Amino acid sequence: DTGVSQNPRHKITKRGQNVTFRCDPISEHNRLYWYRQTLGQGPEFLTYFQNEAQLEKSRLLSDRFSAERPKGSFSTLEIQRTEQGDSAMYLCASSFGQGDYTFGSGTRLTVV
Amino acid sequence: GQQLNQSPQSMFIQEGEDVSMNCTSSSIFNTWLWYKQEPGEGPVLLIALYKAGELTSNGRLTAQFGITRKDSFLNISASIPSDVGIYFCAGTGANSKLTFGKGITLSVRP
């Protein structure tokens, strides 16, 4: 297993466009998490899945954000009508139960 | 909500020195994790702690889960230049959500 994989690594988009990020977790991990990190801050929780069920969403996740994990394996995070304030590093992590959380390398989003 | 406090924001040490970082919380955590992050990369797990009082080592790193479950520390011994990075503490409470501190940026002078 190559760990948690995120694509793309970098994304530059114009304000108002939609973007979608993908996360492939470690295969035997049943939980998958999305975090957002801005400069000088620690990662902030957005949402998490146990298998295909989305169990919790942060207030940070406005209705322009949607996440899916349709078959309990990979997940996508979509941001609609992007705003400059959405510029951040989007991190995905996976775990088995409440075990060690392994993070991917992240997707750096820049909204211009 | 739950918050983790890490200070200072930056630390500067000489190569070969030991360094200790502390993390505190006003609420109880069930697990404590320490991560290191380098520019443009995701956090990499260094040490995970699951029981109050637990002391765990990983090479030159040692971390402890405080007895009160409201704090943890990380020690790095005999620092080397590649220890440079941002060190985050993180913890989980009653739910699975991992809460992070703001991180400490470590600089090591050769």
Pairing of strands B31-37, B104-109: unpaired
**If interface means Cβ-Cβ distance under 8 Å, which residues of chain B face chain A?**
4, 30-31, 33, 35, 40-45, 48, 88, 90, 92, 95-103
Q: For B11-33, what is the mean pLDDT?
A: 95
Flag if B42 and A48 touch (Cβ within 8 Å). Answer: no
| Rounded Cα distance, A42 and A33, in Å | 15
Residues of chain A numbered 34-73 and touching chain B (CB < 8 Å): 35, 40-45, 48, 50, 55-56
- Rounded to an integer, the average pLDDT of A92-105 is 89
Summary mean pLDDT of chain A? 94
Q: How many CA atoms lie within 13 A of A83 on its CB side?
A: 5
Strands (E), chain B: 4-6, 10-14, 19-25, 31-37, 44-49, 55-58, 61-65, 71-76, 85-92, 98-100, 104-109
Compute the average pLDDT of residues A70-87.
95
CB contact under 8 A, B42 and A104: yes
Q: For residues A43 and A61, which has the higher predicted lDDT (pLDDT)?
A: A43
Nearest by CB to A103, from B31, B42, B99: name it. B42
Which of A51, A100, A108 would you mutate first to test chain B, the one with the most B CBs within 10 A? A100
pLDDT band at B1 (very low <50, low <70, confident <90, very high): low
Q: What is the pLDDT of residue B2?
A: 65
Token pair belonging to A22: 């993908």
Question: Quick one: what percent of chain A has pLDDT higher than 70?
Answer: 99
Nearest CA in chain B to A3: B44
Query: Are the beta carbons of A49 and A31 closer than 8 angstroms?
Result: yes
Task: Mutation target for A interface from B47, B97, B102: give the one with most A CBs within 10 A.
Answer: B97
Residues of B with Cβ-Cβ distance to A8 under 8 angstroms: none
The yes-or-no verdict on residue A101 having pLDDT over 70 is yes
pLDDT at residue A112 above 90?
A: yes
B50 class by beta-carbon count within 10 Å (0-12 exposed, 13-18 middle, 19+ buried): middle
More confident residue, B8 or B37: B37
Interface test with B, best of A45, A48, A58, A92 (most B CBs within 10 A): A45
Read off φ and ψ for residue B2, nearest 5 degrees: -70, 140
Are the C-beta atoms of A17 and A23 separated by less than 8 Å?
Answer: no
Q: How confident is the model at residue B89 (pLDDT cuts 50, 70, 90)?
A: very high
- B56 sits in the region (left: phi over 0; alpha: psi -120 to 50; else beta) called beta
- Select from B83, B42, B76 the least CA-distant residue to B61: B76
